[in-house]
Amino acid sequence: MNQYKLDPDKAIKLKDVDPDDTGDIKQKADIRDKLEKDLARIRALQEALYAEHKRSLLIVLQAMDTGGKDGTIEHVCSGLNPQGVVVTPFKVPSAEEMAHDYLWRVHKVTPGKGMIGVFNRSHYEDVLVVRVHDLAPKEVWSKRYEQINHFERLLTDNGTVILKFFLHISKAEQKERLLDRLNTPDKRWKFALGDLKERALWDQYQEAYEDALNKCTTAAAPWYVVPANKKWYRNYVVARIVRQTLEEMDPQYPQPAEDLSHVVIED
């Protein structure tokens, strides 16, 4: 899965990454068992991470509209113990949030020890939507890449492992998904006319994403560009990387503080 991990020394162009890529896997049926095993293993590792209570995992999800953030969360988090995972969506900042620096609302919800945190959108919105819509002047947002790298470094130095996923879909696939939302009664609630205005800014968003990905991929907090036109492949890739990362973290159940061998539980 390292093929999807960005290299801090090599800038990428999104148009060189094929959103239809499914690696060497031909069809969904070929990964069903593997995905199930990965999810079961993630669950087991989550238990140990929670019990260990020393480190945390932060998963950042970013994508163009309809890119599949919600679906990824639904699938990859489906087997997790809800007590050990917190999903945080980032919406248009509130008045209180706007009265603070842009990382204020983010730092408050980073995962505590033993927890897995999932960000549905994130602090990257402050160099994406803010840049594309001119919500702040360039002098302001252009400094944020470095600030974000420092912020993420602070987190990783203090025991949080960070995984950042950009779910990469094509403009044609977005059209299909928007049409599907329009035409399916129980998906229509997800359709907003504003999505069409955002779609018209596709190229500007791709450029803003390219900069965020290239400037903020670090050894400690890498970005993964996940081909996401095929939902099953996207879920498989994200689950694999989460599993691999938790395996590398190798969380350990704590030893009891005292010798328990003499303990007898009376009837």
As a whole number of angstroms, the distance between CA 163 and CA 5 comes to 10
- Residue 28 binds to ligand ADP (criterion: CB under 6 A): no
Question: Rule CB under 6 A: is residue 95 a binding residue for ligand ADP?
Answer: no
Q: Which of 129, 178, 201, 220 contacts ligand ADP by CB under 6 A?
A: 129
Report the C-alpha gap between 117 and 64 in whole angstroms: 21
Spatial separation of the C-alpha atoms in residues 136 and 25, rounded to whole Å: 43
- Of 13-21, 87-95, 164-172, 240-248, the segment contacting ligand ADP by CB under 6 A is 87-95
Nearer to ligand ADP, 99 or 257 (CB): 99
Q: Does 130 bind ligand ADP (CB under 6 A)?
A: yes
Q: Which of 11, 179 has the CB closer to ligand ADP?
A: 179
- Closer CB to ligand ADP, residue 56 or residue 120? 120
End-to-end CA distance of the chain: 53
Say whether residue 90 binds ligand ADP (CB under 6 A).
Answer: yes
Quick check: 126 binds ligand ADP (CB under 6 A)? yes
Pick the closer one to ligand ADP by CB: 51 or 87: 87
CA distance 160 to 58: 7
> Within its chain, how far is the Cα of 108 from the centroid?
17
Q: Does 169 bind ligand ADP (CB under 6 A)?
A: no
Q: List binders of ligand ADP among 104-123 (CB under 6 A).
A: 120-121
Instruction: Out of 8, 71, 79, 93, point to the residue binding ligand ADP (CB under 6 A).
Output: 93
Rg from Cα positions in the chain = 20
Q: Which residues of 26-36 are buried (b: 16+ CB within 10 A; e: fewer)?
A: eeeeebeeebe
| CB of 34 or CB of 100, closer to ligand ADP | 100
CB 79 within 8 A of CB 109: no
| Residues in 185-204 at the binding interface with ligand ADP, rule: CB under 6 A | none
91 binds ligand ADP (CB under 6 A): yes
Residues 6+ apart with CB under 8 A from 83: 50
Strand ranges (E), 76-213 = 85-89, 116-120, 160-168
**Contact flag: residue 137 with ligand ADP (CB under 6 A):** no
Could you tell me how far CA 76 lies from the centroid of its own chain? 11
Return the number of the residue (64 or 155) whose C-beta is nearest ligand ADP: 64
| Single residue of 29, 92, 99, 265 touching ligand ADP by CB under 6 A | 92
Contacting ligand ADP (CB under 6 A), which of 4, 45, 62, 125? 125
Among candidate residues 90, 154, 159, the one with its CA nearest the CA of residue 123 = 90
**Least Cβ distance, residue 138 to ligand ADP (angstroms):** 16
3-state secondary structure of 57: strand
CA distance 33 to 221: 29
Binding site for ligand ADP (CB under 6 A): 65, 89-93, 120-121, 125-126, 129-130, 135
